[in-house]
Amino acid sequence: MEDIVSLCKRRGFVFQSSEIYGGVAGFYDYGPLGVELVNNLKSAWWDAMVKDHDNIYGIDGAIIQHPLLWEASGHVAGFTDPMVEDAVTHKRYRADHLAGVDTTDLKELSDLLRDKKSPDGNPISEPRYFNMMMQTWIGPVQDDAARAYLRPETAGAIYVNFLNVKDSMRAKLPFGIAQIGKAFRNEISPRDFIFRVRELEQMEMQYFIRPQMQDETYEQWREFAWKFLVDKLGIKESSLTWHEHDENERAHYAKAAHDIYFNFPQGPKELWGTHNRTDYDLSNHARVSGKDLMYVDEVGGDRFYPYVIESSVGVGRMLLAVLSDAYTKEEINGESRIVLKLKPSLAPYKVAVSPLLKNKPELISLAKDIYGQLKSEFGMVIWDDNGNIGKRYRRQDEIGTPFCVTIDFASLEDKTVTIRNRDTTKQERCSIDGLIDALREGLKQ
């Protein structure tokens, strides 16, 4: 993890938020390369989830929703973690993490922690529940009537817009509603870099179906998640495993729940969840709001609450998984190097353009012309003339740039350039006229 964190800071992927003031635990900023990689991840998910399906529709819900929404969803009463407090420093810790168990039962945790000290060696309090929703107030007066919450998940806006999407898009079951957006969780002990944070971004899709479709549909969305990670993001299958929630793990309303675990630097942890939420969400929002959220079947006129199959993944965790899987230390021709072997479609920069020497006007002129052509074609192209050519290659390897194009003195004579492949380090001459086609073919990988 230290290697990943160092690379992210050094190369402009992820920075600690408010770093010059000492930082704020659980909050991070994405740097110039990080935001490009994140946007590529989100675009890949949106294309596969929304654009490739005729019956899945996107929305962008507000971060602050009506407070009753979170009562209906169970978050006000049940979105809790067990917490203990250091009696001297007053630092707070997750009781289950301190005990090294998965249970959240207070009595069991109290017994396990009876003789336990805090990480600082001090006595700790009895475990108690702590609601993780972040509060705010709407309007000028801060009282209970004005209390609101920053959303702890993005699914809430999807459920309350079920009728709006169904009616405006004339949608018939089965159909899905997808969203990418920020969520906020007042984690007791954020940790593991961007894995567990207090401000996160989620990519979620809720798929509304007839109850009799639940088993078949559930397996389809499990398969979708696995194939997306492997085929679209290039993650090695050996890095992934399935984890099925048992009765004690899954929510009381869920009929089934599976997580794809990724082998993160801190060990195998959940990355992508697929859940059968039955009709819990729409029925509860109907009960609390008083609105009729039943679906009326055109054939036979049956009225029922659709079941929901949820597909949910965090953007930050996906970024960490992609970086961890791509991060490679290896030796090439007797020299060690660090390289991010990102799938080319995800790489922040697609091509780096370098004149062999930066003090030769004729090389600079030709290189600038080629840079302009590639920029128009591929968008994210970087100009690099700093240091010797070997150092430039190593720098581009570290940020995952798939191809480097070098313009040398031979280029002035025969109108060819050198294309270097990031993963193999193989270099080939290519005509300038054929350069765009050659790169386009390479970037399809």
Q: What is the arithmetic mean of pLDDT over 284-305?
A: 92
Tell me: pLDDT of 367 over 70: yes
Residue at 29 is within a domain: yes
Q: What is the arithmetic mean of pLDDT over 287-301?
A: 91
Residue at 329 is within a domain: no
Residue at 344 is within a domain: no
Distances from the Cα of 353 to the Cα of 53, 175, 377, angstroms: 37, 45, 13
Structural domain that includes position 137:
2-77+132-323
pLDDT at 410: 95
pLDDT at 359: 87
Same domain for 72 and 214? yes
Q: What is the arithmetic mean of pLDDT over 356-365?
A: 92
Same domain for 209 and 260? yes
CB atoms within 10 A of CB 418: 18
pLDDT at 199: 97
% of the chain with per-residue pLDDT over 90: 82
Residue at 339 is within a domain: no
Q: What is the arithmetic mean of pLDDT over 102-121?
A: 89
Structure tokens belonging to residue 48: 């596969």
Q: What is the arithmetic mean of pLDDT over 225-241?
A: 97
Distance CA 227, CA 264 (A): 19
Same domain for 430 and 313? no
Same domain for 20 and 44? yes
Residue at 394 is within a domain: yes
Tell me: pLDDT of 77 over 80: no
Are 150 and 157 in contact, with CB atoms under 8 Å apart? no
Same domain for 187 and 161? yes
Same domain for 153 and 292? yes
The total number of residues shown for the chain amounts to 445
Same domain for 159 and 195? yes
pLDDT at 66: 93
pLDDT tier, 27 (very low <50, low <70, confident <90, very high otherwise): very high
Domain count, the chain: 3
Give the CATH number for residue 239: 3.30.930.10
pLDDT at 247: 84
Distances from the Cα of 424 to the Cα of 7, 22, 333, 397, 427, angstroms: 21, 41, 11, 11, 9
Q: What is the largest CA-CA distance in the chain?
A: 80
% of the chain with per-residue pLDDT over 70: 100
Same domain for 104 and 153? no
Residues 6+ apart with CB under 8 A from 426: 420
Q: What is the DSSP string of 366-415?
A: HHHHHHHHHHHHHS-EEE--SS-HHHHHHHHHHHT-SEEEEE-HHHHHHS
Same domain for 358 and 287? no
pTM, entire model: 0.90
pLDDT at 78: 67
Q: What is the arithmetic mean of pLDDT over 260-270?
A: 96
Residue at 336 is within a domain: no
Per-residue pLDDT of 389-431, as tens digits, reads: 999 999 999 999 999 999 999 999 999 999 999 999 999 999 9
pLDDT tier, 105 (very low <50, low <70, confident <90, very high otherwise): confident
Same domain for 53 and 144? yes
pLDDT tier, 130 (very low <50, low <70, confident <90, very high otherwise): confident
Partners of residue 205 on adjacent β-strands: 178, 311
Residue at 268 is within a domain: yes
pLDDT at 445: 74
Residues 6+ apart with CB under 8 A from 233: 41, 44, 318, 321, 322, 343, 346
Give the CATH number for residue 379: 3.40.50.800
Tell me: pLDDT of 350 over 90: yes
Phi and psi at 32, nearest 5°, equal: -55, -40
Across the chain, mean pLDDT equals 94
Same domain for 297 and 361? no
Residue at 118 is within a domain: yes
Same domain for 216 and 258? yes
